[in-house]
Structure 1
Amino acid sequence: MGVAVSWPFFAFMPVVVFLLCLGSGFSYVACSFLGGNETDRLALLAFKAEITADPFGALNTWNESIHFCQWLGITCGRRHQRVTVIDLRHQKLGGPISPHIGNLSFLRELWLPNNSLSHQIPPEVGRLQRLQVLYLGNNSFSGEIPPNISACTNLVFLVLFGNKLVGKISVELGSLFKLELLHIAQNELTGGIPSVLANLSSLILLNVGGNRIGGNIPFALGRLTNLKNLQLWENRLVGTIPFSIFNLSSVSIFNVVMNQIRGSLPSGLGNTLPNLQFLEVGGNFLSGPVPVSICNATKLYHIGLGSNRFSGKVPPLEKLHDLHRLILSENHLGIGEADDLSFLTSLTNTTNLIDLHLGVNNFGGTLPDTISNLSTNLRELTSQGNKIVGSIPTGIGNLVNLQGLRLSTNHFTSNIPADLGKLENLQLLSLSSNNLYGEIPLTFGNLTLLTVLSISQNRLHGSIPSSLGKCKMLAELRLDRNNLTGTIPREVTSLSSLLHINISQNNLTGSLPVEIGNLRNVEELDVSENMLVGNIPSDLGSCVKLRLLYVEGNKFWGILPSYLSNLRGIEELDLSQNNFSGQIPDYLQDFVFLRKLNLSFNDFEGVVPKGGIFGNATAVFVLGNKKLCGGIADMQLKSCNRSKGLKEERFTLTLKLIISVGVGLLGLALVLCFLYLCWFRKTTKVSSFRILGNSFMKLSYQSLHKATDSFSPANLIGVGSFGSVYKGVIDQGKKVVAVKVLNLHFRGAAKSFIAECKALKSIKHRNLVKVLTACSSIDFRGNDFKALVYEFMVNGSLEEWLHQNGNEDDGHNELRNLSLLQRLNIAIDVASALDYLHHHCLKPIVHCDLKPSNVLLDEEMVGHVGDFGLARFLPEEHWQSSSIGIRGSIGYAAPEYGMGNEVSTFGDVYSYGILILEIFTGKRPTDITFNASVTLHNFAKIALPEQGASIADPTLFQQSENGEVSSGINNTTNHNSIEGQRIEECLISILKLGITCSEELMRDRPAMNEVVAQLHVIKNALLGGITAL
């Protein structure tokens, strides 16, 4: 009975226990659910609290009035009501991301692109283990990529492009095995590309472009068999492209533009990359032929091979039916033969072709008539800078959608086809520097969208067609160096859109039309070397944006009218070789931007002003005006006559003053002078130490007199801006020093001494000349004496090594050649010194006189910057006026100093740029081959990149007596060799840096810390493959 009764109870016991457990489970889940919700809500509110800008009110709904799952940009899971997605893209939100973001433990997707979010990416993101998408592109995030992002093991998309991230690409990213998209372009990342990224076997897109990443492209990336998009553009990558990359058959986009990659493209490229659609390798050092197999990659729509060293003939491309862009410019393609451009015929079936760039190559022969059968979608056709002969095909007029046509700098010999007037969408037409003849077609008036028309330096005759007045958008008109006749059409000078007009060196007659006043936007007007006559029309004063005005070599007459005073932005004004008369207007002194004024060979008369630009004799030219007088002494003009009465009155006044106070003042002056000298003898012996401090040794005039053997000429080792430098021996013959004796009769020398003492007492750097002491005393004759004593540099100045003036037959010159590596090391030494002065001193110091003679070399050939006589602290103290004049030496001083601007660190950067160019070209900036239009800066800029090695200092290529080569290369260097390429790349990189540093505008120059970093990159690249230089 008991058994029978107890059985049902035990039978249902499991069910009861299950229900109890289930109930308990429900309670636990409910508590967890409520707690998780509150965590998410608080995390979102913390996110909102950190936002400092919300212009669109995207977070206005983030309040207690509705559940957070309904807030804008928030998506929650259905089951737990936990936040799974945050999507606030394009909201212009500002501020940092709250670290509480790491509490959203169910978050799968975080979309915050195109905002203004800043600060570091919070490392708490690494706690989001469910995160699959982290999309933070186009913001202002800084700092490094948090390495603990690698804890987000489910991450599929990692997009951080367009920020300010720094540091290296973390190797921890190599553990994100599910990652399909890694986009970290357009940041400031450095280091190399980690080989561990090859572990990301699911990766489809890898984009690290637009950073500062160096090193080689890892061979291991060839293991990414799913990769479709590989973008490494605009970095500092070197070496060759690994052949393993060309075996990634899945790749459709490959972009390495603007790096320093060398080598060649494999012959089977089109076979191993059958899916390739976008190929961009421009701006590198690639060489060799264009692979014939490239036409087998039939999906290609973009081929960019520009700015490399590819050579040979271009193969037929008839299979590339989808090709949109073909960029072959700036190479060595073509062999100068008649059929060089035959491949263009193979493009006639490429109906989608938009851009075709063939400029600056070696293409010869004629432009085939089949060019008229190219795609009517073609917008850009450029073939300038080749050796193309014959006529311009009339069929080009069929390319009705053409917007840009560049055929300049060839050997075309024909009329300009009137059919070009059919190109009604044309915006740019450049046919300059050919042998074109005939007249300018009247049909050009149909080109109403034209903004640039350049047909200069041909053999065109006839008049300038008035129909050009229909080109209402024309901004640049260049017809110079032809044989054009007739007058300047009023219709052309009525075009208010014009910015640049050059019709110089023709045979134009008549006067300047009064309609010239309509050129209210013109910045450059050049009508020089014609046969124009008359006065300068008063309407020219309305052209207030004019910067460059050249009217020389005509027959203009009359005085310079007052309305020209409106041209306050003028930078260059050339009125020479005309018949202008009258006085030079005073308002020219007030043109603060004027840097060149040529008034030569006119009939000006009267006094030459002394203010403004007239204070610089190298910028003003007045030769051939016999009636001019006065001006500054450097102009060497005759003195102006003064009236006799004025002289007598001045003499009488002077005589009265002398008689009345002369005797008394003379006596008083003698007494005061005697008292002052007595006091001065006692005090000046130690005055220099008040400036330098007590830690420096004390040397008297007598000891320096003895150390230099009475300042013997035999010990004279240099003459500087304010004095002479002698070699001396002190400390009982144990220490050799350099003694700089100031010439106190030279204006500014005393101020130079004080400036140098104040600068040198507070600085210490291995690349600065070490000052040992200073001496301020009186010599044996009772005259003031000031000297600075420096550490002696046994190898003299950089000037002596770059420009040897000794006897060439003495057998020593060759031994004093500087190698490429030595020059680079000296450049780094000088840059390091300037970086210290500009960025690491208590107050920034500007040297103001950097040049080779102020760079001294010790026994290890380490460079030391010296001569701080013009140095300035920033901001300037009251004792640092700018009365010394233009800061620096001619050729090295920054252009803004010549216009009276204050000193700045960028002035030193300019001088350093010129110094760099001088070190590696061997040419002084004051070389007789240079002039106002061709400077050392322009000389180097024009030569790059193709002629970089040709402008290098010839001594770089000379062998020393023992047969070794001073730079590692010689005159027969094979530039296709690895060593030759590396050296040439080094030279080009250095010269580019020198050009950048010596840009005319301050804002275009880098800071010295950036220069130092770039120099070390160049040196590392040079030493990467050269073991002995």
Structure 2
Amino acid sequence: MIVHASLLFAGNQCLLFLVVVLLHASAAIAAAALDNSTDLASLLAFKAASTTTSGGGGAAAASDNIIAANWTTDVPFCTWVGVRCSRRRPRVVSLNLSSFSLQGTISPHLSNLSFLSSLDLYNNSLSGTIPDALARLPRLAKLRLSQNHLSGPIPPSIFNNMSSLVSINLHDNNLSGSLPTQVMLPRIEIISIQSNLLTGHILAGLARCSTLQWIYLGGNKLTGSVPSSLGNLSELVVLDLGENQLTGAIPASIGNLTKLRLLYLAFNHLKGEIPEELGNLVNLQKLHLHVNGIVGSIPISLCNASKMIVLSVSTNNLTGPVPATLGKSMPFLQWLTMAENALSGGLDFIASLANCKDLNTIEVVANQFEGVLPDACGNLSMNLQYFHVSDNDISGKIPAGLGNLSSLISLNLSSNELRGTIPRTLWRLKKLQMMYLGSNRLTGLIPSDIGLMTNLAEISFVDNEFSGQIPDSLGNIRRLQKLEYLSVNKLSSTIPLSLWSLTGLLRLDLHQNRFGGLLPPQMAKLKAIGYIDLRSNRLSGNIFSALGELQSITYLDMSNNSFHGQIPQQLGRLFNVEYLNLSHNFLSGVIPKSFSNLSYVYSLDLSFNMLEGEIPEGKVFSNVSITSLMENRALCGAPQLKFPPCPANMITTSTSSAKLRLIKFVLPSVASVLVFLACFSLLVKIFMRKKAKASYKEEPPCLNYHRRIPYFELARATDSFSEDNLLGSGSIGKVYKGSLDDGLLVAVKVLNLQVEGASRSFDAECRTLGQVRNRNLVKIISTCSNLEFKALVLEFMPNLSLDKWLYSQNQCLTLLQRINIMLDVSLGLDYLHHQHPHVIVHCDLKPSNILLDENMVAHISDFGIAKLMLIDNKSTTSTNNVGTVGYMAPEYGLTGGVTIRGDVYSFGILLLELVTGKKPVDTMFNGELNLRQWVNNAYPIAVMEIVDNNILRTDFTNLQQHSDGVDILRRCLSSIIDVGLHCTKDLPNERLLMRDVVPRLQEIKNGVLVN
């Protein structure tokens, strides 16, 4: 009985325990449900705030569809895309929506995700401010909001109230204001806030963050000095403060950072000397101090940095010699740039660089080095590609050993005091593309061996004392584009016929030599030529009429020769010429009336000839001065130039004098009638011209659609074209950011009218942009044009150019962004080629001409050399330029004609560049290998070996979410490469058309979004 009672009591205890456990479990379940509901509400609030679009298509809308379909309450939120929950409980610990094309703002409700340890919204289009409430996330270790459009200040609480934070990535936004004054981040390792609009000083309080390893604050507007307290950060590996407005000296305490690998202080206003203490940085690999105001010498102690790979101190005020043992102390050196200083002494340090087996670049131009180039130059690295020592006081001979540098691509020895002949060994440099020996005292002949250097694209021998003939073998250099610097020598004889077979030649400058003989008709083969300078030679004979076929030419100078005969009427067909000088010859006859068609000429000189007859009317003659026509035999007309009026009975044709005598003496009655009719016709013509002039105003064609903006408003908008507002510069002008009187942000493209091609480019761009309407073409807002000033006012693109994104250390494009950009570009080209009433060929498609708006939508820009196809829809038209090397279709250099398939080729190169991250003019590509061949060799087996590493880095998280993620990426890249290879086939007719490219890219994009 007692035993039974005991068992009963024990049973009751077990039951009681079970009840207690169940009650606790119920409470836990209820609490979990409550916590779940909080996380769910926070995620839904984020969804509502950050996926709002303004309608339309594009990647953002597609992302909306994915989130709308995936982020629903029908399934647990822990299964939503981008959401990761804890294994122990259904609480959100990670939110990763990087590269999702999100728009809208960041919801402050994210602060309710109390277990969140990682927030990654990298590479979207989010705007607004960073919510201060994020500082309430106690477990947050990773905060990555970089590459968005966030603005406003950084909340101080983020730097002062987040004890778990390990990394802050806010780079590439529009954040402004100063850095928070209080810093309390005991675990922080990475602070990356470069490429924003931050002002103020660098906080000395950062020195309290003893765990810091990476500091990126470059590309802002920070002022003040570099805090010496940063020298206390003993764990620091990277210190990037470049591209700011920092002043003062480099603190010696930086030398305490013995783990430092990268020190980037370039593009500031730093003064003082390079501290001796930097020699303590034994692990330093990259030192960038260029473009500052640093003085003094290069300290010998710097040689202690034995792991140095990049040493860049160009554009400072450094003086004194370079340490002779520099190369022996830095065996891993690859890049040495000391250009634009006042460094002096001998060049012994170059001999020490023979110890650097991976050396790629030596750049010491524009200094005061003297002495001779050491023979040890021949012992430099076989990997050396750039050897530039121009603009110094180097004397002696060119070392024969330079011919051993078999990888050399560019050799620049110009503007020194070099003497003697060119060593025959230099002609062994088969990979050499640029050879600059100008402005020295070199003598002798140009040997025929120069024809062996078949990869040469540019040759500069200007201002030397070369004599003899141009070797006939020069015609073997089929890649030659610029032969502009054989001028100012003592070359004689005739110009070899082989020279005229270089159909890819863009510039030819042979002025101030002793060339004689006739110009052959073969000269007309140079269809791509844009610049010819033959002045001050001994050339003679007639100017052949076929010269009028060179319709790409913008600069032609044949002055100070012995040409005679009449000026061919066909020269009036040089529609793109801007500078034309035929002065100081023996030309006779009348000025061709066809010259009235030369609407782009800003300088015409026909003086000191034997011309006669009436000066034609037209734009070109309304702008010339009397000095351009002086010292001729009997010119008349042009009363504004004070020439005598033409006789009333003057006949301004080329009729022979025998026929004139016949008219005068044999047919007087007929002559009287003809004179009467001629006068009457002339009066009618003058009246009609005046009437036409009164009703015609020379305005750019785009002004029919857009209001004009006066110069003073543009000056006010750009702060008098301040360098602070400079967005970029090109060959014919500069582009400034401006704010018009109504607050509209614009890009103002100001053309340099002194540069050949500028006026023509302005009119071409006006003509093209004025008649196109497409989302993916840059829009023209207005113009400002007069005789002294021409500017285009274009829509402002805050994300600048594709080139900036591809080759910036601070910016990176995901695969989806790259596909979106190429789809945008293809749509723009499809419009130009197939949808516009007149087919338009862009002619110069490249990354710097692809601009990105605030939503990363691509817009094709720079229509300065665009061509409108003939109305009868012929497939080709002549070009006055041939685009950019590397992107230019191969047939352009052969025929000088352009087609829409030339644009397709450029687009294909652009596709391959986006996949590989390699420029088509990368140093790895020589005469035997180009970008297309390199990609084709890897396709399809080894695609992953040539892909841009940035794609793998930015899409790594997405790859991890799929068991077959790598295969998905490989298939996608293979599809893109396939399109690129089909667009870049050698034969134009085998290439795709843009209307075929668009659906293929759309299909590729859809596949990426699905996965």
Residue in structure 2 matched with residue 818 of structure 1 by the alignment? none
User: What does residue range 545-564 of structure 1 map to in structure 2 within 5 Å?
Assistant: 545-564=552-571
CA separation in 1, counterparts of 2:412 and 2:789?
41
CA separation in 2, counterparts of 1:567 and 1:142?
52
Normalising by the residue count of structure 1, what TM-score does the alignment of the two structures yield?
0.60
Q: Give the letter for the 2:517 counterpart.
A: G
CA separation in 2, counterparts of 1:407 and 1:628?
49
1:287 and 2:295 aligned: yes
SS of the aligned residue for 2:511 comes to coil
- 1:891-927 deviation per Cα after TM superposition (whole angstroms, max 9, x unaligned): xxx995216859999xxxxxxxxxxxxxxxxxxxxxx
CA separation in 2, counterparts of 1:574 and 1:208?
53
Cα 1:442–1:300, aligned 2, differ >3 Å: closer, same or farther? same
Q: Give the letter for the 1:627 counterpart.
A: A
Residue in structure 2 matched with residue 959 of structure 1 by the alignment? none
Does the 8 A contact of 1:47 with 1:101 survive in 2? no
Measured after TM superposition, the shift of residue 309 of structure 1 is 1.5
Residue in structure 2 matched with residue 345 of structure 1 by the alignment? 351
SS of the aligned residue for 1:492 comes to helix
CA separation in 1, counterparts of 2:518 and 2:229?
72
Residue in structure 2 matched with residue 418 of structure 1 by the alignment? 424
Measured after TM superposition, the shift of residue 126 of structure 1 is 3.9
Aligned to 1:575, which of 582, 586, 589?
Answer: 582
User: What does residue range 283-432 of structure 1 map to in structure 2 within 5 Å?
Assistant: 283-315=291-323, 316-317=325-326, 318-335=328-345, 340-432=346-438
Measured after TM superposition, the shift of residue 430 of structure 1 is 0.4
State the aligned residue count.
Answer: 675
Give the RMSD, CA atoms, in angstroms: 3.9
Over the matched positions of the two proteins, sequence identity in percent amounts to: 35
Q: Give the letter for the 1:533 counterpart.
A: S
Residue in structure 1 matched with residue 216 of structure 2 by the alignment? 207
Does the 8 A contact of 1:613 with 1:619 survive in 2? no
SS of the aligned residue for 2:272 comes to strand
Residue in structure 2 matched with residue 742 of structure 1 by the alignment? none
1:494 and 2:501 aligned: yes
Measured after TM superposition, the shift of residue 391 of structure 1 is 0.8
Cα 1:186–1:492, aligned 2, differ >3 Å: closer, same or farther? farther
Measured after TM superposition, the shift of residue 74 of structure 1 is 3.4
Cα 1:94–1:592, aligned 2, differ >3 Å: closer, same or farther? farther
Measured after TM superposition, the shift of residue 176 of structure 1 is 3.1
1:898 and 2:904 aligned: no
Residue in structure 2 matched with residue 28 of structure 1 by the alignment? 30
Does the 8 A contact of 1:321 with 1:349 survive in 2? yes
SS of the aligned residue for 1:28 comes to helix
CA separation in 2, counterparts of 1:537 and 1:148?
78
Deviates more, 1:363-372 or 1:225-234: 225-234
Measured after TM superposition, the shift of residue 528 of structure 1 is 0.9
Does the 8 A contact of 1:462 with 1:484 survive in 2? yes
Residue in structure 2 matched with residue 170 of structure 1 by the alignment? 180
- 1:865-887 deviation per Cα after TM superposition (whole angstroms, max 9, x unaligned): xxxxxxxxxxxxxxxxxxxxxxx
Cα 1:23–1:119, aligned 2, differ >3 Å: closer, same or farther? closer
Measured after TM superposition, the shift of residue 471 of structure 1 is 2.3
SS of the aligned residue for 2:529 comes to coil
Residue in structure 1 matched with residue 634 of structure 2 by the alignment? 627
Deviates more, 1:215-224 or 1:499-508: 215-224
Cα 1:195–1:375, aligned 2, differ >3 Å: closer, same or farther? same
CA separation in 2, counterparts of 1:139 and 1:517?
53
SS of the aligned residue for 1:449 comes to coil
Deviates more, 1:158-167 or 1:227-236: 158-167
1:523 and 2:530 aligned: yes
Cα 1:842–1:136, aligned 2, differ >3 Å: closer, same or farther? closer
1:260 and 2:245 aligned: no
SS of the aligned residue for 1:261 comes to coil
CA separation in 2, counterparts of 1:27 and 1:368?
82
Residue in structure 2 matched with residue 450 of structure 1 by the alignment? 456
Measured after TM superposition, the shift of residue 401 of structure 1 is 0.5
Measured after TM superposition, the shift of residue 302 of structure 1 is 1.1
CA separation in 1, counterparts of 2:745 and 2:503?
49
User: What does residue range 150-189 of structure 1 map to in structure 2 within 5 Å?
Assistant: 150=159, 151-172=161-182, 174-189=183-198
Residue in structure 1 matched with residue 258 of structure 2 by the alignment? 249
SS of the aligned residue for 1:364 comes to strand
User: What does residue range 678-697 of structure 1 map to in structure 2 within 5 Å?
Assistant: none
CA separation in 2, counterparts of 1:584 and 1:296?
72
CA separation in 1, counterparts of 2:411 and 2:790?
42
SS of the aligned residue for 2:420 comes to coil
Does the 8 A contact of 1:43 with 1:104 survive in 2? no
SS of the aligned residue for 1:254 comes to strand
Residue in structure 2 matched with residue 220 of structure 1 by the alignment? 229
Cα 1:416–1:93, aligned 2, differ >3 Å: closer, same or farther? farther
CA separation in 2, counterparts of 1:837 and 1:27?
59
Measured after TM superposition, the shift of residue 622 of structure 1 is 1.1
CA separation in 2, counterparts of 1:33 and 1:167?
37
Higher relative contact order (CA 8 A, sep 6+): 2
Does the 8 A contact of 2:78 with 2:90 survive in 1? yes
1:614 and 2:621 aligned: yes
CA separation in 2, counterparts of 1:24 and 1:619?
103
Does the 8 A contact of 1:33 with 1:80 survive in 2? no
CA separation in 1, counterparts of 2:135 and 2:152?
16
CA separation in 1, counterparts of 2:544 and 2:154?
64
Aligned to 1:76, which of 85, 91, 94?
Answer: 85
SS of the aligned residue for 1:35 comes to helix
- 1:62-105 deviation per Cα after TM superposition (whole angstroms, max 9, x unaligned): 32476544444433322233333333444555555455544544
CA separation in 1, counterparts of 2:41 and 2:421?
80
SS of the aligned residue for 2:308 comes to coil
Aligned to 1:435, which of 428, 441, 446?
Answer: 441
CA separation in 1, counterparts of 2:741 and 2:626?
34
Does the 8 A contact of 2:36 with 2:91 survive in 1? no
Q: Give the letter for the 2:231 counterpart.
A: G
Cα 1:226–1:550, aligned 2, differ >3 Å: closer, same or farther? same
Cα 1:575–1:128, aligned 2, differ >3 Å: closer, same or farther? farther
Measured after TM superposition, the shift of residue 435 of structure 1 is 0.5
Does the 8 A contact of 1:198 with 1:221 survive in 2? yes
SS of the aligned residue for 2:786 comes to helix
Aligned to 1:145, which of 149, 154, 158?
Answer: 154
Residue in structure 2 matched with residue 42 of structure 1 by the alignment? 44
- 1:678-713 deviation per Cα after TM superposition (whole angstroms, max 9, x unaligned): xxxxxxxxxxxxxxxxxxxxxxxxxxxxxxxxxxxx
Measured after TM superposition, the shift of residue 366 of structure 1 is 0.8
- 1:975-1014 deviation per Cα after TM superposition (whole angstroms, max 9, x unaligned): xxxxxxxxxxxxxxxxxxxxxxxxxx9xxxxxxxxxxxxx
- 1:467-503 deviation per Cα after TM superposition (whole angstroms, max 9, x unaligned): 2223222222121101112222333333233222211
Does the 8 A contact of 1:584 with 1:606 survive in 2? yes
Aligned to 1:236, which of 222, 229, 245?
Answer: 245
SS of the aligned residue for 2:318 comes to strand
SS of the aligned residue for 1:323 comes to coil
CA separation in 2, counterparts of 1:386 and 1:895?
43
SS of the aligned residue for 1:485 comes to strand
1:506 and 2:524 aligned: no
- 1:386-444 deviation per Cα after TM superposition (whole angstroms, max 9, x unaligned): 11111101111110001111100111111111211111111211000001111123222
- 1:332-373 deviation per Cα after TM superposition (whole angstroms, max 9, x unaligned): 1123xxxx1112222212111111112111111111111100
Q: Give the letter for the 2:88 counterpart.
A: R
CA separation in 2, counterparts of 1:559 and 1:614?
19
Q: Give the letter for the 2:216 counterpart.
A: N
Measured after TM superposition, the shift of residue 460 of structure 1 is 0.6
Q: Give the letter for the 1:27 counterpart.
A: I
Cα 1:389–1:836, aligned 2, differ >3 Å: closer, same or farther? closer
- Structure showing greater radius of gyration is 1
- 1:123-182 deviation per Cα after TM superposition (whole angstroms, max 9, x unaligned): 55444443322223334444443444334442222222233333333335x233322111
Query: Structure 1 stretches of 5 or more lacking a match?
Result: 653-758, 766-834, 847-893, 906-1000, 1002-1029
